[in-house]
Amino acid sequence: MSIPVYIRKEYFRAVTISDKSAHILEFHYLPQTVDVFEEGYQIFHLEYYLESRTKAEFIEFYLTDFALRGKGYGTECILEIEDQLRKKGVTMITAPVGYELAPLGYTGPEQYMELMAGFYEKTGYSISGDGNVAMKILE
């Protein structure tokens, strides 16, 4: 059973990414998915599951263009989504660190899991002892 959390369907956020350039990102919230657009092009997709009113699990997320990786878009998108979930009463987020198959562009699951663990730690998550789950308490 999933719990609906109602978030305004469209939300704009001005962000500055790592190269110091400014961008306007448009967040589209639907039940259990968030899509982010810049100038009409989708750049980010996230799927999540609400286990309860206070606990969310990120199922998967990705930047739609491999060339955008490493520039700060993923970080800005995750932080914005966390902020909106926090405003709706979510206090804890969990997420898998990797998958059995690595996405295109990676040498294998180990490389991808290492990259994702670094991403989660950079955005304030703790990695479980077995390295399979990232967890963050929202304050």
In a structure prediction context, what are the per-residue pLDDT tens digits for the chain, which is 139 residues long? 455 555 566 777 777 887 788 888 999 988 889 999 999 999 999 999 998 889 999 998 888 888 888 899 999 999 999 999 999 899 999 998 876 655 666 676 777 788 888 899 999 999 998 878 999 999 8
Q: Which residue has the tokens 């490493």?
A: 70
Secondary structure letter of residue 57 according to DSSP: E
Q: Is there a contact between 98 and 109 (Cβ–Cβ < 8 Å)? A: yes
- Domain regions of the chain by residue span: 10-137
CA distances from 18 to 15, 87, 102 (A): 10, 26, 25
Reference 103, options 112, 116, 90; nearest CA is 112
What's the fold here for domain 10-137? Aminopeptidase (3.40.630)
In sequence order, what are the residues at sequence separation of 6 or more whose Cβ sits closer than 8 angstroms to the Cβ of residue 38?
A: 23, 24, 25, 26
Tokens of residue 20, six digits: 């110091």
Tokens of residue 37, six digits: 């657009």
Tokens of residue 86, six digits: 């926090």
Tokens of residue 88, six digits: 């709706």
First to last CA, the chain: 25
Q: Is there a contact between 127 and 94 (Cβ–Cβ < 8 Å)? A: no
Give the three-class secondary structure for 84. Answer: helix
